[in-house]
Amino acid sequence: LELKRGLDELRSDQLAGRQVQIRMLPEPLEFRGLECSHKIIPSLLLSGDFLDYFELGEHRLVFYIADVSGHGASSAFVTVLLKNLTYRLRRNFRRGSSDDLLHPAQVLHRINAEVLATGLDKFLTIFYGVIDTCSGHLAYSVGGHLPMPALLTREGVKFLEGRGRPVGLFPEAAYSTCETGLPADFRLLLFSDGILEIIEADSLVGRERRLLELVEQTGGDIEALGTALG
């Protein structure tokens, strides 16, 4: 009876934590001709996978996807830290005291320092991007994230280029900002590495190639991709 009570309490805590994580996720967004939506299927109640997107000023869209090492409560805690940090940076931007959010490499540098400061022995991979809706320009930075986002256009589909160390492992880690133009008609799909674990192929290259094929076959539709992957 005592064991059952303890397990019930633990499950209740996990469910409460899950609700917190769900509330932190963004609502589908339409902004300046861009549409954002997402689908998360956690392996446990509490997830180390996290994403967010939001408008910044009158013509910029910020978005990121992150995958914290491990599972459970400690990994979920880092997603809360991530949400809190971007909230503070948004508040600073509105006040005019900081424009860090416009500079992807600086954002990764900030996250790296804060994750290291927690002492939780956690790290994360992340892709962080900013789209200027006036110029159709994308600036982004990569912190060890795989697979890279898949860009689907009328010409076909390809992974964006870029690399960088995982965030929260190395105090001296340096990050760079990459830039690319976006056509008027495009879809950009971001995944956590869990997607690669359910694709059957002989190698990482083979799984990535198959992912690109599925993106093209489904037109980048999230629900159709989920069906194709089972």
Is the pLDDT at 90 greater than 90? The verdict is yes
Is the pLDDT at 23 greater than 70? The verdict is yes
- What average pLDDT does range 69-92 have in this prediction? 86
Beta-carbon count within 10 A of 34 CB: 16
Query: Is cis: bond before 147, omega within 30 of 0?
Result: yes
Q: Distance between CA atoms of 214 and 135, rounded to whole angstroms?
A: 29
- Tokens representing 182? 């976006």
Place of tokens 């910020």: 62
Residues 6+ apart with CB under 8 A from 84: none
pLDDT, tens digit, 9 for 90 and up, residues 145-190: 999 999 999 999 999 999 999 999 999 999 999 999 999 999 999 9
pLDDT, tens digit, 9 for 90 and up, residues 208-225: 999 999 999 999 999 999
What are the respective helix, strand and coil percentages of the chain, to the nearest 5? 40, 25, 35
Residue 30: per-residue pLDDT: 96
Residue 159: per-residue pLDDT: 98
- Check: pTM over 0.85? Answer yes or no: yes
Residues 6+ apart with CB under 8 A from 2: none
Residue 67 identity: D
